[in-house]
Amino acid sequence: MSPSVHVTPLQNISDADAAACHRLVAASTAHDLPGVPAPDPGQILAQLTQPALGSRRLTWLATAADGVPAGVAGLRLFTSPGQQHLAELELHVDPAHRRLGTGSLLLSAAVAACRAEGRRSLVATTAADSPGEAFSERHGFRQALTLDHLMLRLDELDMADLLRTADAEHPGYRLTGWTGTVPDELADAFATAKNAMNDMPVGDLDYGSVAWDAERVRAMGKVVADRGDTLLTIASVHDDGTMAGYTEIVLPGGAGPRAQQYDTAVVPAHRGHGLGLWVKAAMARRLRAEHPGVVEIETDNADSNVHMLAVNHRLGFRSYRRTREFQLDVPTA
């Protein structure tokens, strides 16, 4: 363990702090995930200063003896009922400062905060077969879930096939869509549909569950907008007014070539009608029409989520990397 590395909690994020964190994340990502674009400076600033929905964030910066930033750790403390036992760690060490104890010092600070905050479960995501995976195992984390990351190239889609899928008849259902926060007249139905995500496969993660209501779905839309991203939603609505399924896409920074898939869910009572494929195809068509600068969508699925993987492969998504979710059972004080 290097005594020359100092770990400091960041209370009020300055422009210099945000720039240092961005450089560290970019260097770490380029080394461990070649070909995966690092977040831009604006995204890092938003992450540091705009808490994710139902959570608050703690951040630590590790600095070498010469004053050069060597690593950064962010801890998301979940605050919603049903998840108050949970924290999520993101840790980056500059490749030039690895194997000097920097990551271990940052992890120690995060674990101490978990204990102080009464969090029993600390989860972290690493690239499969990466230095982060070895680091996690060495520090007592256990592997809890494997995720398949898939990419859909919108400019390579068979448009005739896509239009047939998006325009297919689904008797008793209609499609609707919106940008940003859900319209008031759909908020209650959307919240009910969001609760369908609570049965998604999470492996051995002690992830808890979240109860969605109209207030929470509105808050989600505001959080995404406040950090400068654009949220797009396509939903399937049953003739009785219930929302049967939906899919969400986020455009980081409001633009850029790669969109991020957020939730896709079909309410259990409406499964088996092809609604998942329908809403996702309609979203791909919408992106082609409204956001021609977006050329690809990235998503991830648990490797045990065979149904959604089949839907994504049918649409044209292709696997391109894997990540693993690790969990540390935090000892109580």
Return the structure tokens found at 2. Answer: 């290097």
Q: What is the DSSP string of 219-263?
A: HHHHHHHHTT-EEEEEEEEETTS-EEEEEEEEEGGG-SSEEEEEE
**Cβ atoms 91, 110 nearer than 8 A:** yes
Fold of 150-321: Aminopeptidase (3.40.630)
Between the CA atoms of 75, 81, 84 and 88, what dihedral angle is there, to the nearest 10 degrees? -30
Q: What is the pLDDT of residue 294?
A: 95
Between the CA atoms of 308, 310, 312 and 314, what dihedral angle is there, to the nearest 10 degrees? -150
Fold equal for 6-119 and 150-321:
yes
Q: What is the pLDDT of residue 3?
A: 58
Q: What is the pLDDT of residue 332?
A: 72
Half-sphere CA count of 304, side-chain side, radius 13 A: 10
6-119: CATH, from 3.40.50.1220, 3.40.50.10490, 3.40.630.30, 2.40.100.10: 3.40.630.30
Cα-Cα end-to-end distance for the chain: 24
Calculate ∠ Cα 147-78-256, nearest 5°.
55
What pLDDT tens digit does each residue of the chain (333 aa) get? 455 899 999 999 999 999 999 999 999 999 998 888 888 898 899 889 988 999 999 999 999 999 999 999 999 999 999 999 999 999 999 999 999 999 999 999 999 999 999 999 999 999 999 999 999 999 999 999 999 999 999 999 999 999 999 999 999 999 999 999 999 999 999 999 999 888 888 889 999 998 999 999 999 999 999 989 999 999 999 999 999 999 999 999 866 799 999 999 999 999 999 999 999 999 999 999 999 999 999 999 999 999 999 999 999 999 999 999 999 999 876
* Residue 285 neighbours by CB under 8 Å, 6+ apart: 162, 163, 166
Per-domain residue ranges for the chain?
6-119, 150-321
Global pTM value: 0.91
* Residue 295 neighbours by CB under 8 Å, 6+ apart: 153, 154, 155, 257, 258
